[in-house]
Structure 1
Amino acid sequence: MDGSCDINKSLDGCSKDEEEGPTTKRLRKGTSVAEQWATFLAKYKQQGMLGEGGYGRVFMGLRRADNFPVAIKHIKKIYVHKEVDQNGEEFSAEVAVMSRLSAERAESGESASVALLDVYDLGLEQVLVMERPDPCQDLLRYLKAHNGLLQEGHAKVIVKQLLAAAAELERHNVFHRDIKLENILIQSEGDALRVRLIDFGVSCFSEPSSLLKTFEGTVTYKPPEFISRGRYAAGPTTVWQLGTVLFELLHQNSVCGTLEFLTQKLRIRKTLSAECRDFLKRCLGIIPEERSTVEQLLRHPWLH
């Protein structure tokens, strides 16, 4: 993240006057950037980088009090995805979404989404501290470790949990907008696998059927209706993206890009079971009205 401040360097060059707009109570209002840096450094130890994208960098870290593993995400403020509340004030969509999902986790005891632990307003950047499931790896690396192809039964375990996660998001009117292999973690718990969702950087609050006109997310996986109509909705788009994930799990070394699928350069392989092929077709319908809903997919025979 060029131009951002390194926590291992001094605060020179960080703007102490720049303020983040109202987001959630997690942001510490009334404290200076220097005070927040000091609080952050006292509470967390930042380690090696986990990944880097167009909007920021994510580092491994530990909570000093108990060595609890965390992920520390640095985002340039100019790239923070913001929405406007009913009072006309801007807020960080990612923080608001993750705060709502973390509250759900506190009530129910479990959530597919990683928990948001802390948020810091550090001058030119916003820093999010989240839980870091350990051991785990993203689904892209997990797939590569299995030679780029999973058997149906294996993929079914993952997709079943992804659908449950999607249903959880819908209950809270949360639209992730960027479900793909890299944004799905596979956490190992003995012989069992647990699916976790990460990177809510372009997420927003939206009713499942509300139409959006500005696309956010990975262009490769944009839904067909955005190409043809210039509009898309949370429910059908989430189902489309879940379908692309399953397609990639079951078709070796394939990227289920929307344009490739529309031009029939990608085909569902005939060696899959009839129920699995039907499940994929219900996810990857070109017309959004033809796709199944998340709840309908949860009842699909292939999963049972």
Structure 2
Amino acid sequence: MGRMLGEGSFGSVYEGKRLEDGLEVAVKIARKPQNLKYIYIPGHPAPFPLEVGLSILANRGPKVSEIIELLDWQDQPDQYIMVLERPSPCEDLWHFCNRHEGVLDEDTARFIMAQATLAAHMCCRRGVFHRDVKLENLLVNTETLEVKLIDFGCGDLLQESGYETFCGTLRYRPPESCAEGKYHGKPATVWSLGVLLFLLVCGRFPEPRDKQMIDEDIWSEPGLSNECCLLIRSLLKESPRQRIYLRKILRHEWFKSWCLGCVGLNTEHTAECLREALEEMIQEAWKLDMSYMAGITTDNASANKKAFQQDFTWVPCFGHNLHLAINKGLDIDRVSGSLSRLRKTVSAFSRSPKMLRQLKKKQKDLQLPEHRMIHDEPTRWDSAYEMVERFLEQQQAVCSVLADDRKKWHLMPKDSDITVLETVKERVKLGLKIKQRLWEALNRPSLEEIPDGCVRITESFSTTSRSFAPRIHVDISEEPLPEEPRRKKPRH
């Protein structure tokens, strides 16, 4: 064994090297307290010390590279020894952040958070409640930024009945543990991930004022994107029932822009420039071998197809084509008018803190979810559907706020508009259900997950748009929607 890498309350971690092949490892020597808990694992006759057993369970099944791997272990009368993988070069996330002046840029934080979230989620899926997800328990490869979750010493088996005794780091303790004396594994994990993200992008722990503003859904931080602030507010709700579900975190809008890197094109977006940019990014920035590239998916721009079709298997982007299909299907005068008027209503709430406070009060009075309104954006997939769905969810609260102020009556949605929006919501669900299946398949859609016949390599608008756009358009057109009320001509 070599130098000490770290020391905790019940043990120490040292550098080591496996004799049989010279593999660099970490050796953890943990003292046994008198009340050491043992657990049984199916397929093993003898019980394991809790930390050892949780490490084995977390690594069962397909390998999850974001969770530290237990290579071997040994039980002794007064201690147990764990041999763990040791990535190199690496340091814990606390030291990594300190070297970066305490705050990470959003791209780096996103890359790290995605891995930490996946590790925590997979632990829970395998019946393990880590209970101490924090900066010090995440190792970062300083060259690749690959992250590994370590130290199951505070963990326990995940149980539906919840926990009454807190074990972990107090600064990451969920508020319900103090207020109610009981907490549950998944919402507590979501809270600790929220504290982790707050630390990465703000450089400090959330203070009482931050928590209050988060609960009022008005918290933001200068320099952070709106999506990042939204995710923080979703993670750090005081009530565990209002927090985002653990399994939905990686599907949040903030992670949808997760990428390995970007190249700015300072020249024309010709096929030649796009091809050069791709090669530069893959070979120089990502250090990848292009001979291993299986294929590429882009939108249907002619320059993209010309740049990549000749040398690669080119597949039209399913999500992009579905987005185009839905928009084409909604290209009906009555629908466009209703959506336009809804945007004005949503914008009024987005611009007015007073209206947001009133909305929050109405939500409590009507016992509605305390959600903010969503504004659609042309470049964000499904945003029109999300705007409609959120409005219909909050329709009573929105109309109640508008009814209280005579000056806002012009923003009140008409009955005919509401009928149109309800119809749109039901008809658009068809395409979105298919895309939902893709994202649930590992949060990374692949061609194998797409139902047969939905996507084919074509030279034109793609089978997706041809199939869905007319279906949505016909469904909505044939629906007996109310006609727009005729406006009386003004008298001169």
Q: How does the TM-score come out when normalised to structure 1?
A: 0.75
SS at match of 2:132: coil
Q: CA deviation at 1:256?
A: 4.1
The answer to whether the 8 A contact 1:70-1:129 is kept is yes
* Structure-2 residue corresponding to 1:280: 232
Q: Greater relative contact order (Cα 8 A, min sep 6): structure 1 or 2?
A: 1
The question of whether the paired residues in 2 share the 8 Å contact of 1:236 and 1:291 is answered with yes
Alpha-carbon spacing, 1:161–1:84, altered in 2? closer, same or farther (3 Å): closer
Partner-residue secondary structure (3-state), 1:211: coil
Map of 1:226 onto structure 2: 177
Identical residues among aligned pairs (%): 36
Amino acid at match of 1:159: M
Query: What SS does structure 1 have at the residue aligned with 2:2?
Result: strand
Q: Give distance in 2, aligned partners of 1:194 and 1:53.
A: 24
CA contact (8 A) 1:61 1:71 kept: yes
Q: 1:161 aligns with which of 76, 90, 115?
A: 115
Shift of 1:109: 4.0
Return closer, same or farther for 1:167/1:50 CA change in 2, 3 Å cut-off: same
Partner of residue 37, structure 2: 82
When residues 285 and 77 of structure 1 are mapped into structure 2, their CA distance, relative to the original with a 3 A threshold, is same
TM-aligned CA deviation for residue 123 of structure 1:
2.7
Q: Distance in 1 between matches of 2:190 and 2:9?
A: 25
1:117 aligns to what SS in structure 2? strand
1:123 matches 2:77: yes
Letter in 2 for 1:140: W
How large is the Cα RMSD of the aligned pairs?
2.5
Query: 1:31 matched to which residue of 2?
Result: none
In structure 2, what is the Cα distance between the partners aligned to 1:97 and 1:268? 37
Q: How does 1:1-304 map to 2 (within 5 A)?
A: 46-78=1-33, 81-83=36-38, 91-104=48-61, 108-188=62-142, 192-207=144-159, 209-252=160-203, 254-256=204-206, 268-304=220-256
Deviations 1:240-271 (A, max 9, x none): 0011111111113x1347x786578xx75243
Q: Select the structure that is richer in helix.
A: 2
How far the C-alpha of 1:285 sits from its partner, in A, is 0.5
Relative to structure 1, the CA distance from residue 262 to residue 141 in structure 2 (aligned partners, 3 Å threshold; closer, same or farther) is same
Higher mean C-alpha deviation, range 284-293 or range 111-120: 111-120
Deviation at 1:111, TM superposition (A): 2.9
Name the amino acid aligned to 2:205.
V
In proportion to residue count, which structure has more strand? Answer: 1
Query: In structure 1, what is the Cα distance between the partners aligned to 2:35 and 2:83?
Result: 15
Q: Deviations over 1:55-88 (max 9, x none)?
A: 11111111122221111111111177514559xx
Contact kept in structure 1, 2:57 and 2:128, CA below 8 Å: no
Preserved CA contact (<8 Å) 1:81 1:202? no
Q: Structure 1: 5+ residue runs without aligned partners?
A: 1-45
CA distance in 2, matches of 1:282, 1:230: 22
Larger radius of gyration: 2
Secondary structure (helix, strand or coil) at the match of 2:146 reads strand
The one-letter code sitting in structure 2 at the alignment partner of 1:244 is V
Residues 234 and 243, structure 2, Cα contact 8 Å, conserved in 1: yes
Tell me the distance in 2 between the aligned counterparts of 1:260 and 1:79.
42
Q: Quick one: structure 1 residues 256 and 67, their matched pair in 2 at CA, closer, same or farther if it must change by over 3 Å?
A: farther
| Counterpart residue identity of residue 211, structure 1 | G
SS in structure 2 of the partner of residue 47 of structure 1: coil
Shift of 1:169: 1.0
Pair 122,113 (structure 1): closer, same or farther in 2 beyond 3 Å:
same
**Residue by residue, what CA displacement relative to the aligned partner does 1:164-195 show, whole Å, maximum 9, x if unpaired?**
1122112101100000000001124x5x3211
Q: Which AA in structure 1 matches 2:123? A: L
Distance 2:83 2:19 in 1: 13
4+ residue runs of structure 1 moved beyond 3 angstroms? 83-86, 259-264
Q: 1:74 to 1:261 in 2, by over 3 A?
A: farther
1-structure distance, mates of 2:154, 2:63:
25
In 2: Cα distance, 1:102 partner to 1:147 partner: 34
3-state DSSP of counterpart to 1:232: coil
What letter matches 2:174 in structure 1?
P
Distance in 2 between residues matched to 1:101 and 1:212, nearest whole Å: 20
Q: For 2:155 and 2:210, locate their aligned partners in 1 and report how far apart those are by CA, in whole Å.
A: 25
Following superposition, the deviation at residue 220 of structure 1 comes to 1.9
- Measure, in 2, the Cα distance between the counterparts of 1:62 and 1:79: 31
8 Å contact from structure 1 (residues 60, 71) kept in 2: yes
Q: Separation in 2 of the partners of 1:54 and 1:302?
A: 37
- Give, in whole Å, the separation in 2 of the partners of 1:157 and 1:50: 25
How many equivalent pairs are there? 249
Structure 2 unaligned blocks of 5 or more: 214-218, 257-492
Q: Which amino acid aligns with 1:206?
A: L
CA distance in 2, matches of 1:144, 1:96: 33
Q: Report the TM-score when normalising by structure 2.
A: 0.48
